[in-house]
Amino acid sequence: MKNLKVQFKLIIFIFTLLNISSIVLAKNLDKFSSSRNISNYFSGILSINDNQYSKSYTHLRTLNNLEDSHYNYAKYYQYSLIALNKFKNAANYSKKLEEKKIDNFESNLISAVYYLEDKDFKKASFYVQKIINLYPTGTIQNLLSKSLNTWIVYQSFSDLNSTLSYIDTIPERFENIKKIQKTFAHCYFDSVKTDEMFKQLTSTPGVNYSRYNFFHANYLISKKREKKIKKIIELSLEKYPENLIINQLKDDLKKKIFASEFSCKKSKDIIAEIFYIISNVLASQKSYITSNFYLSLAKYLNPNFVSYEALHAENLFLIQEYEEAKKIYSKIKKRGSIYSWYASTQIASILNEQNKKKESIKSLKKSFEEITTPRIYELFAYAEFLKNNEKYKESVKYYSKMLSLIDSTNPLYAQALEGRGVAYERTNQWDKAEIDLLNSLNASPNDAYVINYLAYTWIEKGVNVQESLEMLRKANRLKPNDGYIIDSLGWALFKLKKYSAAKKYLELAIIYMPSDPVVNDHYADALWMNNQSLQARYYWNYVLKLKKTENKLKKKIEEKLILGLKS
């Protein structure tokens, strides 16, 4: 990861230098007249790409008026301001760009959002219209500006039909976001079809709109339709039992502590949700800089919605900004019992990534013990966490407790059996492990990873090798590009003394997992048995150098290097 980051920084450095070279030809040279200014600009861009916005702001703010000659500077600087919640500064800077007639998409969008929050709809509409005029239909900029315009100038639409007609001017390629906005339009105008529109949206085939069950329930709460609310929640959790936002809503209503985080009667709440949608799509594409930009705008308009905080923390986690992510998760913990457990698991994961395993285990244990009556999902998550942190005996306890509460029809039944089976195997209780793994496969016959785990263990124990080979061929069909399964398949062929065929699969496994000690050892064994002893010794020596190689495997390899491999 570090090597990739260094390479990426080198690319950015070269790109920056090329840009700076082009600036030399521009009229305004004063800001790059010293090496210090060049360094600040370079450092500012690198900080942005590392998502270190405080650093980028510190560097870029010193380069006042660089926007006159360098277009990208303005965009980077605006990203820094918005990420740091300096909205007043961002609005002032956007005004400065406008006065210089070098305003851009970001500056007009920031101005529109700033005036919307200030309830100056006329000015907000003015800046949105500028974007509409600048960007052609079909672009993401045009989609955003038209979507915003719908809700900023909603007061000029006298009825629902006028609003729906305007939403229809959004291109068909954005059909999903059109559906969402049409549903919100019915909700805003309190249409008799609002309930029906939410139902249609959340039952759209092929698209997961489960999130909008929350907004449906939220609408019904405003109408005090308690029976209907319970039904919506039950149906939603039946299909998506681990939906975070719905589970928290259910818990809040049960405790009668519900506090509205969204209202379809507030245009800024709807616009915030549109920004969230765009941010979520960008995050899924790993475009975290722009994702965080739109997410910050969403949080500015609706700072009370925990869902936005959750995405922000997740983004920070994925870009390895662990301390910032932990701060947000600590805030989320205070927003309800369901959110608290979710945030606790994420904090524990971060601590693991920071190589603080003991602290991680201690932290989640404390959070789990604070749950009065754990649901099966908390039991399962905690058992998985313990197993993944090599606390196998403890994990068995919670898998068993969870399995006592469900039957084979529950979607988690097979997964819990698999988890407990793995924990039994790792604690040398193979008889119990084998039963659990077989029962897991009975419940879920096409789980390639359970097939692989059971078959590979059989192979290592020297039993059912031919049956294991057929099972692994099935697993390989189910997951054709999985290195572990390919390795197991090659190893089964090796155990059956089909060395030439084994080598082909193990060579492929090396491509998928070049740094895995066991896979390299298997491949070296296959090379040896195919009379390629020199190549085999090369791979055995390579395994000895790998940090992940366990001492037990190292001793075996040292013996092979001296004595070779017996047939």
The pLDDT of residue 136: 82
Name which of 306, 270, 313 is nearest 292 in CA terms.
313
Quick one: average pLDDT of 514-536?
97
Question: Are 90 and 110 contacting, i.e. CB atoms less than 8 angstroms apart?
Answer: yes
Is residue 2 pLDDT above 50, yes or no?
Answer: no
> Is 158's pLDDT higher than 50?
yes
d(CA 483, CA 472): 12
Q: Per residue in 52-72, pLDDT tens?
A: 777 877 877 877 777 877 778
- Predicted confidence band of residue 397 (pLDDT cuts 50, 70, 90): very high
Instruction: Give the confidence band of 493 by pLDDT, cuts at 50, 70, 90.
Output: very high
- Tokens of residue 560, six digits: 């092979």
What mean pLDDT value characterizes the chain? 90
Predicted confidence (pLDDT) per residue in 181-196, tens digit: 999 999 999 999 999 9
Q: Where are the domains of the chain?
A: 1-134
What is the residue whose two structure tokens read 């379809």?
264
CA distance 305 to 273: 10
Distances in Å between the Cα of 563 and the Cα atoms of 517, 550, 566 are 20, 20, 8
- 411's CB contacts (< 8 A; 6+ apart) are 241
* Cα distance between the two ends of the chain: 40
Using alpha carbons, list the distances in angstroms from residue 552 to 305, 370, 558.
51, 40, 10
pLDDT for 247: 95
Per-residue pLDDT at 20:
43
Neighbours of 203 (CB within 10 A): 11
Among 513, 536, 511, which residue's Cα sits nearest to residue 523?
536
DSSP percent split of the chain into helix, strand, coil, nearest 5: 75, 0, 25
CA–CA gap between residue 475 and residue 489 (Å, rounded): 9
The 10s digit of each residue's pLDDT in 78-117 is 999 999 999 999 999 999 999 999 999 999 999 999 999 9
pLDDT at 531 over 80: yes
- For residues 543 and 33, the model is more confident at 543
- Lowest average pLDDT, out of 25-29, 151-155, 206-210, goes to 25-29
Alpha helices in 210-321 (DSSP H): 212-222, 226-239, 244-255, 267-284, 288-301, 306-318
- For 23, 182, 186, 378, the CA distances from 383, given in Å and listed in that order, are 58, 43, 44, 8
HSE toward the beta carbon, residue 59, CA cutoff 13 A: 21
Which residue in the block uniquely carries the two structure tokens 């339709």? 225
Contact 295, 276 (CB under 8 A): yes
- Taking the mean position of all CA atoms in its chain, how far away is CA 150? 30
Integer-rounded Cα radius of gyration of the chain: 29
- What's the pLDDT tens digit per position in 220-259? 998 889 899 999 999 999 999 999 999 999 999 998 888 8
Q: At residue 557, does pLDDT exceed 60?
A: yes
Q: What is the pLDDT of residues 9-53, one digit of tens each?
A: 444 444 444 454 444 334 444 545 555 667 777 677 777 777 777
CA dihedral for 178, 179, 180, 183, sign (positive or negative):
positive
Mean of pLDDT values over 315-332:
94
C-alpha angle 8-11-16 in degrees, rounded to nearest 5: 125
